[in-house]
Amino acid sequence: MIRPDSPTILAVRGLHATVNGIEILKGIDFTVRLGEVHAIMGPNGSGKSTFAKVLAGHPSYVVTRGEVTYDGQNLLGRKPEERARAGVFLAFQYPVEIPGVANSQFLRLAYNSVQAERGKDELDPLEFDDFVRAKMKLLEMNPDFLDRSVNEGFSGGEKKRNEILQMALLEPRLAILDETDSGLDIDALRVVAGGVNQLSKEDNAMVLVTHYQRLLNYIVPDYVHVMDGGRVVKTGGKELALELETRGYDWIGNENPASAAASA
**Integer Cα distance of 160 and 84 in angstroms:** 18
For residues 178 and 222, which CB has a smaller minimum distance to other proteins in the complex? Answer: 178
Contact residues toward other proteins (CB under 8 A) are: 56-60, 79-81, 83-85, 89-90, 92, 95-96, 98-101, 106, 109-110, 113-114, 117, 149, 166, 170
Q: Which helix (H) or strand (E) holds 178?
A: strand 174-178
CA–CA–CA angle 46, 192, 208 (5° rounding):
25
For residues 96 and 258, which CB has a smaller minimum distance to other proteins in the complex? Answer: 96
Minimum distance from residue 231 beta carbon to other proteins (Å)? 25
Minimum distance from residue 80 beta carbon to other proteins (Å)? 4
For residues 92 and 223, which CB has a smaller minimum distance to other proteins in the complex? Answer: 92
For residues 108 and 231, which CB has a smaller minimum distance to other proteins in the complex? Answer: 108
SS3 content of the chain, % helix, strand, coil (to 5): 40, 30, 35
Residue 66 near residue 28 (C-beta atoms within 8 A): yes
**Integer Cα distance of 204 and 183 in angstroms:** 26
Q: How far is CA 66 from CA 30, 54, 103, 258, in A?
A: 12, 12, 37, 18
Minimum distance from residue 87 beta carbon to other proteins (Å)? 10
Minimum distance from residue 14 beta carbon to other proteins (Å)? 24
For residues 80 and 257, which CB has a smaller minimum distance to other proteins in the complex? Answer: 80
Minimum distance from residue 262 beta carbon to other proteins (Å)? 33
Side chain identity at residue 160, one-letter code: K
